Structure formats: structure tokens, C-alpha cells
């Protein structure tokens, strides 16, 4: 068993998502099926997310055999590349690589799916501290941002790293301790998750963990602003004044907004907006009949925010590309300052 105990380092963190309070569990790598049995029978957990990537029992990743033996349904077990987070303590990229924000969007989608089914969900990595704690912090951060977004006057302000977070980072024998400057909401999210840590454990371990949460805050702010602007643009259109061709164009916009509201998937967004751009370019004479407010402000804003969002979400490369991308976002978008 490699020195691991069944269901080690388990704790639950209260989080409010979609206006409902839920408890999200965190735990160490499951080395046997009894872990899932204990989760189900003693903690009423009905869904699980594995952050450990591909592999299998003993190697990390796909624990489907243990899930089945433990009495959980495989459709409520999320694993694989879409939610895989590298163990940076064993990586040479520990201090430079950032986690793709879409990973945390996918983790949220799994949590939201469990919430809709009335299931408690738990997340695990290896030790249950770094990657799991970071995932829990991104969920808490989403809660805080959802509340903050209700007031655009403060939500759109540039975010300053005015707080400090303490962490022990680096691989055993080579790491150390440090304080990192963070935004107020990132600090609040990490502090909240750490309140429920077990003895001799600390959620959010590495510099990369913290930097990934900071990146995710910018990612979520871009999403929330885009959603708000899309709603505003749609709301300014009076459908009764549109002719048939204009209505066709407008329906495409509404569908893109509906798809993005339902699932902020950048690939789907790219596809839909590219379709709209083609319509936009091919039907300029019809768009001229739109209200000047929408045509000159909302429609341009729609495409402008789309470009910002695509730049932000499509990043898959290390720090150099990330820095260039963030500079572009800070120059164009509200409330996205690093």
C-alpha cells in the first residue's frame, strides 16, 4: 500500500455555488476499493474527481475498478486529461508552469453536475494537499467572485495584490518557505480552505498552486464580464423592429450567448462567434439598421471581449506566452490586472 492508509486526509469544505451551500470533500490517493466504500457509507459521498491523470490503481489516474467495487456509479466518477493536474513537486516546471484554467472549469462542471443530482462530491490527488487544496480554493474563489460580480463598479476595478499568503513550497529537501503577494479574494479563498485542513497538512503547497489560482481569478473575471456584456447587448435589441434577415443574425447571437451561459467552453465559443463574424461580414447592410447603441457599442464590445476571452482561455504554454497574453488582457479588459 506504499504507506498510505484507506481514506487518509479526508475533510470537507463548505462552499456556496449557484446559491446553494454544499460540502466538497478532499482526500489522499485511494489505494483500495474500501476508500470508496467508506466515502459512500460514512460520508455520503456519491461523486468523485481524480486529479492524478492517466494510469490506474497503484499508478494514479483511473480508479474505475475501485469505484465500482466501492459501490459508486461510474457516471459520477470524473477523471482523465480534462481534470488532470501535474504534481509539480516532482516536476522541473514547478516554479514556472501554470495550470490551464479550463481544468478548473472542468472540475467545477463535475461539482455542478453532482450538485444538480443532489450528490456530495469529493476530490483527490496524491497527498490531498496541493492539487486538491488548490482545486477547492478555485471553487471557493468562484463563490466569492459570484458575489462580487453583483456590483460592477467594484468588480471591474483593477485587482491589486495587496495581501500576502504564506506557504511551504518545493520538493522535500529542496524547497523552503515564502510569502507571496495575492489579491484579496485569492487570499480569502485559500484561507477558507485551510481552515478545514487536518493536523500536519496544509492545502495549497507550491508557488505554482498560488499562481494558478491567481490566473484562474483573471480567467473567471473575463468569463463573468463577457457574460454580463453579452446579456447587455442582447437586452438592447428590439426584435420587433428587425426584418427577417436581421432576425436570423440576431438568433445566431442569442444562441452563442445561450451556449456560453450554459457552458463557458472556449472551443464552442470560437465556433459560434466565428459563425457570427461571417454573418456580420456578409450582412453589413442589414446590421446598419440595428440601433446605433448596439451596432457601435454592444456589437463591437461583443467581438472585443470575445477576442480577449479567446486569448485568455486558449493559452496552453508556459510563462513567456502567459505574460504576453496577460498584458493584452490588462490593456483591453476591465478588472483583469494581474
Average pLDDT over residues 53-72: 77
* Predicted pLDDT at 41: 96
pLDDT of 3: 47
> Which range is least confidently modeled, 13-17, 50-54, 228-232?
228-232
> What is the predicted pLDDT for the residue at 136?
98
The answer, yes or no, to whether residue 94 has pLDDT greater than 70, is: no
pLDDT of residue 93: 47
3-state SS, residue 46 = strand
- Strands 77-78 and 163-169 turn out to be unpaired
Output the pLDDT for position 123: 98
- For residues 292 and 297, give the distance between their C-alpha atoms in angstroms, rounded to a whole number: 8
pLDDT at 307: 53
Give the DSSP H or E segment for 11: strand 11-17
Give me the CATH number covering residue 26. 3.90.190.10
Q: How many domains does the chain have?
A: 1
User: What does the alpha-carbon distance between residue 2 and residue 14 come to, in Å, rounded to a whole number?
Assistant: 31
For 136-155, what is the mean pLDDT? 91
Segment 77-83 mean pLDDT: 93
92-101, 169-178, 251-260 — which is least confidently predicted?
A: 169-178
Residue 202 has a pLDDT of 93
Q: Are 103 and 213 in contact (CB under 8 A)?
A: no
Instruction: Give the model's confidence band at 57: pLDDT under 50 very low, under 70 low, under 90 confident, else very high.
Output: very low
Q: For residues 174 and 59, which has the higher predicted lDDT (pLDDT)?
A: 174
From 225, 203, 226, 184, select the one nearest 13 (Cα to Cα).
203
From the number of C-beta atoms within 10 Å of its C-beta (0-12, 13-18, 19+), residue 259 rates as middle
Q: What is the pLDDT, as a whole number, of residue 168?
A: 72
Q: What pTM, to 2 d.p., does this model score? A: 0.76
Q: Is 288 left (phi over 0), alpha (psi -120 to 50) or beta?
A: alpha
pLDDT tens for each residue of 268-316: 766 776 676 666 565 444 444 333 333 444 445 555 555 544 454 444 3
Spatial separation of the C-alpha atoms in residues 175 and 95, rounded to whole Å: 11
Q: Check whether 111 has a pLDDT greater than 50.
A: yes
CA distances from 243 to 170, 240, 288, 289, 291 (A): 62, 8, 12, 9, 13
Q: Inform me whether the pLDDT recorded for 332 exceeds 60.
A: no
Least confident among 87-91, 181-185, 198-202: 87-91
Name which residue leads in pLDDT, 4 or 160: 160
Whether 334 is covered by a domain: the verdict is: no
Looking at the domain assignment, is residue 323 inside a domain? no
Q: Would you state the pLDDT for residue 66? A: 95
Boundaries of domain holding 33: 11-222
Is 264 contained in some domain? no
- Cα 132 from Cα 123, distance rounded (Å): 6
Instruction: Out of 14-18, 56-60, 130-134, pick the least confident.
Output: 56-60
Q: Flag whether pLDDT at 158 surpasses 50.
A: yes
Q: Residue 327 CB: number of other CB atoms within 10 A?
A: 11
With a CB cutoff of 8 Å and minimum separation 6, the contacts of 192 are 13, 137, 140
The whole-number pLDDT of residue 290 equals 38
CA–CA distance, 106 with 168 (Å, rounded to integer): 27
User: Which one has a higher pLDDT value, 66 or 62?
Assistant: 66
Phi-psi region of 102 (alpha: psi -120 to 50; beta: other; left: phi over 0): alpha
Sign of CA dihedral 298, 301, 303, 306: negative
pLDDT more than 90, % of the chain: 43
Q: CB of 47 within 8 A of CB of 78?
A: yes
Specify if 189 maps to a domain: yes
Reference 214, options 244, 177, 242, 189; nearest CA is: 189
Average pLDDT of the residues of the chain: 76
Residue 227 forms part of a structural domain: no
Q: Do the domain assignments include residue 269?
A: no
What is the model's pLDDT at position 269?
64
Alpha-helix runs per DSSP H in 156-265: 184-194, 207-235, 244-262
Residue-level length of the chain: 338
Q: How far is CA 287 from CA 67, 276, 279, in A?
A: 54, 12, 10
Residue 5 forms part of a structural domain: no
- Whole-number Å distance between alpha carbons of 13 and 197: 9
Over 90: is that where the pLDDT of 139 sits? yes
Q: Is residue 86 part of a domain?
A: yes
Residue 322 reports pLDDT greater than 60 = no
Q: Is the pLDDT of residue 83 over 90?
A: yes
What is the predicted pLDDT for the residue at 249? 67
CA triple 88-93-94, angle to 5 deg: 40
Amino acid at each position: 500500500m506504499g504507506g498510505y492508509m484507506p481514506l487518509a486526509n479526508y475533510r470537507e469544505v463548505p462552499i456556496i455555488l449557484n446559491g446553494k451551500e454544499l460540502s466538497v470533500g478532499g482526500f489522499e490517493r485511494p489505494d483500495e476499493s474500501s476508500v470508496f466504500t467508506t466515502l459512500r457509507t460514512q460520508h455520503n459521498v456519491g461523486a468523485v474527481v481524480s486529479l492524478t491523470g492517466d494510469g490506474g490503481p497503484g499508478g494514479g489516474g483511473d480508479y474505475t475498478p475501485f469505484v465500482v467495487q466501492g459501490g459508486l456509479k461510474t457516471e459520477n466518477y470524473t477523471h482523465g486529461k480534462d481534470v488532470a493536474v501535474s504534481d509539480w513537486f516532482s516536476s522541473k516546471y514547478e516554479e514556472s508552469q501554470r495550470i490551464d484554467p479550463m481544468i478548473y472549469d472542468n472540475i467545477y462542471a463535475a461539482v455542478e453536475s453532482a450538485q444538480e443530482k443532489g450528490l456530495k462530491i469529493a476530490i483527490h490527488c496524491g497527498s490531498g494537499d496541493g492539487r486538491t487544496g488548490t482545486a477547492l480554493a478555485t471553487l471557493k474563489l468562484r463563490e466569492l467572485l459570484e458575489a462580487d460580480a453583483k456590483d460592477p463598479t467594484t468588480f471591474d476595478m483593477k485587482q491589486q495584490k495587496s495581501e500576502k499568503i504564506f506557504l511551504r513550497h518545493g520538493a522535500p529537501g529542496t524547497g523552503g518557505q515564502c510569502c507571496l503577494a495575492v489579491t484579496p479574494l485569492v487570499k480569502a479563498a485559500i484561507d477558507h480552505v485551510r481552515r478545514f485542513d487536518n493536523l500536519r497538512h496544509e492545502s495549497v503547497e507550491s508557488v505554482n498552486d498560488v499562481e494558478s489560482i491567481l490566473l484562474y481569478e483573471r480567467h473567471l473575471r473575463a468569463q463573468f464580464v463577457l457574460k454580463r456584456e453579452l446579456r447587455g447587448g442582447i437586452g438592447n435589441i428590439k426584435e420587433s423592429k428587425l426584418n427577417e434577415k436581421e432576425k436570423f443574425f440576431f438568433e445566431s447571437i442569442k444562441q452563442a450567448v445561450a451556449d456560453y451561459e450554459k457552458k463557458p467552453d472556449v472551443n464552442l465559443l470560437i465556433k459560434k462567434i466565428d459563425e457570427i463574424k461571417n454573418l456580420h461580414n456578409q450582412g453589413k447592410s442589414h446590421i446598419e439598421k440595428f440601433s446605433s447603441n448596439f451596432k457601435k457599442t454592444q456589437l463591437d464590445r461583443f467581438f472585443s471581449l470575445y477576442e480577449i476571452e479567446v486569448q485568455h482561455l486558449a493559452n496552453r504554454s508556459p510563462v513567456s506566452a502567459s505574460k504576453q497574453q496577460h498584458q493584452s488582457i490588462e490593456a483591453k479588459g476591465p478588472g483583469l490586472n494581474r
